[in-house]
A and B are shown apart, each in its own frame.
Chain A
């Protein structure tokens, strides 16, 4: 059993939390003078720490920091407020405007096709082009055909 008291260096290492060899750590546990030396320093350090501020002082500091931070957030992200306002406006207006945006004139393809058939039955060329256009096109075609032959 090691009975020698802790050296100053060992005590420093113990206080610094570096740990001691098993035998020396055991000695500290069993040796009252060594424990007193250690506890004396620990108590002096604890005494030097002083008291913490009371809750009211701490709350004031927290509130001030949060307020400054809140102001900064608003400045840094003005688009957040703009986006929120836009969403709100949309929520209010959508019920009134929405149906109009969604409703479209109905388109009945079958009816259109029936109408086209009727027109074509009456006058097959009327549905393609007017008489003048047909005459012009037919005339030009005839002329070019004749010119090509001569």
Chain B
């Protein structure tokens, strides 16, 4: 079995089930290991599904707490990560409904908070002009994603930021894969256009 970094999205291990059983019996060590394995998926999903005004750590904590509290309700049919993401999505939807911020408008603030959004883009040519263009494209993508209709934003976020496969997005959102593809195609179309417009 290939070793994968702990917490990397998309990672699902066969022995999740063992940890789930132990956590259900009250084993806090097993519960923590379970959270460790899937935490980045939840962080990334919440980060892009919530407006910047929301308390991101509080959202992640609430997702973890709800998951552990309701662990006995996890049937084991779908992937654990899909089930966990479903909890996160429901929490984010609830927060947005409460704040009546769909679609939310605070777009620039998050960009300001990010230390360097372009830092993760591999570049062999540190050409300042190219870096500036890439930075602008990233900002436009962020803006465009936050302006997407709710379901398109969810699908896009779970696919590109949380790293879920299409069938697991379908599980998490409770829709079929065809619906996921439709939303994703529309979202990608808008984002790709935004990137094209960012070019000089």
Please determine whether B28 and A46 come into contact, CB atoms closer than 8 angstroms. no
B200 CB to closest chain A CB, in angstroms? 13
Please determine whether B26 and A73 come into contact, CB atoms closer than 8 angstroms. yes
Q: Given that A15-B188, A41-B191 are known contacts, is A69 also in contact with B141, CB under 8 Å in the complex? A: no
Interface string of B47-80 (1 = CB under 8 A from A): 1100000001100111011001100000000000
* Chain A neighbourhood of B147, CB < 8 A: none
Q: Considering only CB atoms, which chain A residue lies closest to B31 in the complex?
A: A66
Tell which of A12, A50, A57 touches B114, judged by Cβ atoms closer than 8 Å: A50
Q: Once bound together, how far apart are the Cα atoms of A30 and B98, in whole Å?
A: 50
Please determine whether B120 and A46 come into contact, CB atoms closer than 8 angstroms. yes
Tell which of B43, B110, B137, B145 touches A53, judged by Cβ atoms closer than 8 Å: B43
The A-contacting residues of B in range 135-157, CB under 8 angstroms, are 135, 137-142, 145
Tell which of B57, B120, B140 touches A51, judged by Cβ atoms closer than 8 Å: B120
The B-contacting residues of A in range 38-93, CB under 8 angstroms, are 40-41, 43-53, 57-58, 60-62, 64-66, 68-70, 72-73, 77, 80
Q: Once bound together, how far apart are the Cα atoms of A66 and B23, in whole Å?
A: 11
Q: Considering only CB atoms, which chain A residue lies closest to B120 in the complex?
A: A46
Q: Considering only CB atoms, which chain A residue lies closest to B123 in the complex?
A: A43
A23 contacts chain B at the CB level, 8 A cutoff: no
Please determine whether A64 and B195 come into contact, CB atoms closer than 8 angstroms. no
Please determine whether A47 and B137 come into contact, CB atoms closer than 8 angstroms. yes
A16 contacts chain B at the CB level, 8 A cutoff: yes
Please determine whether A44 and B57 come into contact, CB atoms closer than 8 angstroms. no
Please determine whether A40 and B61 come into contact, CB atoms closer than 8 angstroms. no
Interface residues of B, CB < 8 Å — how many? 55
Tell which of A46, A48, A52 touches B43, judged by Cβ atoms closer than 8 Å: A52
Q: Once bound together, how far apart are the Cα atoms of A99 and B89, in whole Å?
A: 61
Please determine whether A61 and B64 come into contact, CB atoms closer than 8 angstroms. yes
B117 CB to closest chain A CB, in angstroms? 5
Q: Once bound together, how far apart are the Cα atoms of A12 and B186, in whole Å?
A: 8
Q: Considering only CB atoms, which chain B residue lies closest to A38 in the complex?
A: B192
Q: Once bound together, how far apart are the Cα atoms of A52 and B46, in whole Å?
A: 12
- A-B contacts, 8 of them at CB < 8 A, read A12-B188, A16-B185, A41-B195, A43-B134, A44-B134, A61-B39, A65-B68, A66-B32
Residues of B within 8 A of A (CB): 7, 26, 28, 31-32, 35-36, 39-40, 43-44, 47-48, 56-57, 60-62, 64-65, 68-69, 110, 114-122, 134-135, 137-142, 145, 159-161, 166, 181, 184-185, 188-189, 191-192, 195, 198-199
Going nearest first, the 3 A-B pairs with the smallest beta carbon separation are A47-B138, A65-B64, A44-B137
